């Protein structure tokens, strides 16, 4: 892990869908070292909070890193206002353990919901590099939240899109096509899911009944990112683990999702208060 000492120049900040942005910035060390599943701690400006964002893409040749995020609170809002030529105040990474996949041949299923559509993109590439045949299931609430489906389709041997309201793809949750894939059988070596916590929980509940190994990328509250503060603790197989240094990927069948859901709501009132306050960043 290394904090970039260069300018951290913003190369682009593209709106992908409603409240969803892809921010690319110059960070050669992170671009060189990052692996699928890892994240960075990032601050837009001096007065922004430091927040974790999973690396969605990187280019070692240009030294660029791409983060995809949804505007949820003040700090992600700060990031959404950044323009080409601006400089991020802080970025440290890559953090967390890289995702680990079995070698092929065999099948792998990548499941992404919401922002998870971007986060499974590097996962699909690494699964394919391992010789696995990748089926991808992407789910959104409605069409206005859809993005990168072209990338996911191009990188997968099989692709299925679902939406809660039927405005794109088939009207279903991701567990619908996932169940079909599981019932089809074959040598399914791993299912990897990332998205809303309730989605990951339902995926884990389903794959458990089929005895298929499943990994999830968790998103607990995180402050430090290096294991010092303990705010990102999660219950894994009855033991406390820290998502920043022990994860963020964990065996889905060992995660206490109910505790994770409860902890994610701890600071809702503070988050709402911060969202109403005026922007204080000097770059905005």
Can you list the alpha helix ranges (DSSP code H) found in 53-174?
A: 74-80, 116-119, 121-129, 149-155
What is the pLDDT at residue 5?
46
Q: Which residues of the chain fall below pLDDT 50? A: 4-5, 274, 282
Give the CA distances from residue 245 to residues 50, 111, 133, 189, in Å, rounded to whole numbers and listed in that order.
16, 23, 29, 25
What is the pLDDT at residue 265?
65
Q: Give the other-Cβ count within 10 Å of 2's Cβ.
A: 12
Alpha-carbon distance of 36 to 49, in angstroms, equals: 24
* Three-state secondary-structure class, residue 239: strand
Radius of gyration of the chain (CA): 18
What is the pLDDT at residue 7?
67
Q: Can you identify the CATH homologous superfamily of domain 2-95?
A: Translation factors (2.40.30.10)
Share in percent of the chain as helix, strand, coil (round to 5): 30, 30, 40
Alpha-carbon distance of 117 to 68, in angstroms, equals: 9
What is the pLDDT at residue 266?
55
What is the pLDDT at residue 221?
81
Nearest partner of 24 among 113, 85, 99, 92, judged by Cα: 85
What tokens does 177 get? Answer: 């096509």
- Where do the domains of the chain lie? 2-95
Alpha-carbon distance of 199 to 204, in angstroms, equals: 9
What tokens does 109 get? Answer: 């299923």
What tokens does 210 get? Answer: 């089929």
Task: Tally the C-alpha atoms within 13 A of residue 208's C-alpha that lie toward its C-beta.
Answer: 12
What is the pLDDT at residue 219?
86
Entry pTM: 0.89
């Amino acid at each position: 892990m290394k904090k970039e000492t260069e300018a951290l120049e913003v190369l682009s900040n593209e709106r992908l869908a409603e409240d969803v942005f892809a921010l690319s910035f110059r960070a050669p060390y992170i671009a060189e070292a990052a692996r699928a599943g890892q994240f960075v701690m990032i601050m837009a400006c001096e007065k922004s909070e430091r927040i974790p964002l999973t690396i969605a893409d990187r280019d070692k040749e240009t030294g660029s890193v791409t983060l995809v995020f949804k505007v949820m609170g003040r700090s992600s809002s700060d990031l959404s206002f950044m323009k080409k030529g601006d400089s991020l105040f802080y970025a440290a990474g890559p953090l967390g353990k890289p995702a680990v996949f079995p070698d092929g041949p065999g099948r792998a299923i990548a499941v992404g919901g919401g922002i998870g559509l971007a986060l499974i993109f590097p996962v699909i590439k690494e699964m394919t590099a391992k010789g696995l045949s990748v089926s991808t299931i992407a789910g959104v609430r409605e069409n206005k939240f859809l993005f990168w489906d072209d990338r996911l389709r191009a990188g997968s041997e099989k692709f299925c899109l679902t939406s809660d309201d039927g405005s794109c793809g088939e009207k279903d949750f991701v567990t619908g096509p996932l169940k079909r894939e599981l019932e089809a059988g074959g040598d399914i070596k791993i299912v990897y899911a990332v998205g809303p916590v309730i989605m990951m929980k339902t995926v884990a509940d389903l794959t458990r009944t089929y005895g298929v190994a499943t990994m999830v990328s968790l998103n607990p509250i995180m402050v430090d990112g290096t294991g010092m503060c303990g705010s990102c603790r999660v219950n894994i197989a009855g033991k406390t683990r820290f998502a920043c240094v022990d994860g963020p990927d964990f065996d889905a069948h060992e995660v206490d999702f109910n505790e994770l859901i409860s902890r994610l709501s701890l600071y809702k009132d503070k988050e709402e208060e911060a969202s109403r306050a005026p922007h204080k960043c000097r770059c905005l």
